[in-house]
Amino acid sequence: MKRSAFSLHATRMAVLALALGSLAGCESLNDMFASDRVNYKDTPTAPPLNVPQDLSSAPSDQKYVAPPPTVTLGGAAQRTVTPAGNATLGVPNSQDPFGMHVERDGDRRWLVVDGRTPDDVWPQLQEFWTENGFTLTTDSPSTGIMTTDWAENRANIP
């Protein structure tokens, strides 16, 4: 009987020591491998980047400036296309029944609207983007700049 009580007590102590060692070991393993992980929550944020004035092309003195028409053919303005395929001039025609269309030059795009002021069109543009599921990241009527986030549809992703 004495022997089984001793072995039971020894077994309990061994299990307790193993459990305590495991708990302490988990903590020391976290400390040992912590340098390999990047802690995104505690990293300091860097100051925002400043764009040099000579690189910024946002209009400062004229509101909503679009490139002027440059090519006319028979008295009617035509769209010119750069070798890269970018439309640099647009005039409403039969393809633009509402008197508005999007023009682009490289990675820049703008909306050309005839017969309405920017103050009339701005709320309609905001409504258009939000109804179509886009989030406006920049919404500045004073500079004429509206920027959206990417619209992601993950409905069909397994």
Q: Is residue 47 part of a domain?
A: no
Name the more confident of 18 and 97. Answer: 18
Asked if 35 contacts 115 with a C-beta cutoff of 8 angstroms, the reply is: no
- Phi-psi label, residue 56: left if phi above 0, alpha if psi -120 to 50, beta otherwise: beta
Question: Is residue 142 domain-shared with residue 79, that is, in the same domain?
Answer: yes
Cα separation, 40 vs 38, in Å, equals 6
Same domain, 88 and 137: yes
Does one domain contain both 28 and 76?
A: no
Residues 131 and 80 in one domain: yes
Q: Tell me if 55 is assigned to some domain.
A: no
Amino acid 147: pLDDT: 87
Domain count, the chain: 2
Model confidence at 53, in pLDDT bands (50, 70, 90)?
A: confident
User: Per the domain annotation, does 42 fall within a domain?
Assistant: no
Instruction: Give 99's pLDDT tier (boundaries 50, 70, 90).
Output: confident
> Is 62 part of any domain?
no
Residue 144 domain flag: yes
Tens-digit pLDDT profile for residues 103-153: 888 777 777 777 778 888 888 889 988 888 888 898 888 888 888 888 766
- Asked whether the predicted pLDDT for residue 60 surpasses 60, the reply is no
Range of 99's domain? Answer: 72-148
Q: Is residue 58 part of a domain?
A: no
Asked whether residue 28 falls in the same domain as residue 79, the answer is no
Given a cut of 50, whether residue 59 has pLDDT beyond it is yes
Q: What's residue 89's pLDDT?
A: 47
Decide if 26 contacts 18 (C-beta within 8 A): no
Instruction: Look at the block and give the residue holding tokens 């703008």.
Output: 110
Is the whole model's pTM more than 0.75, yes or no? no
Q: Is 50 within the bounds of a domain?
A: no
- CB atoms near residue 37 (< 10 Å): 8
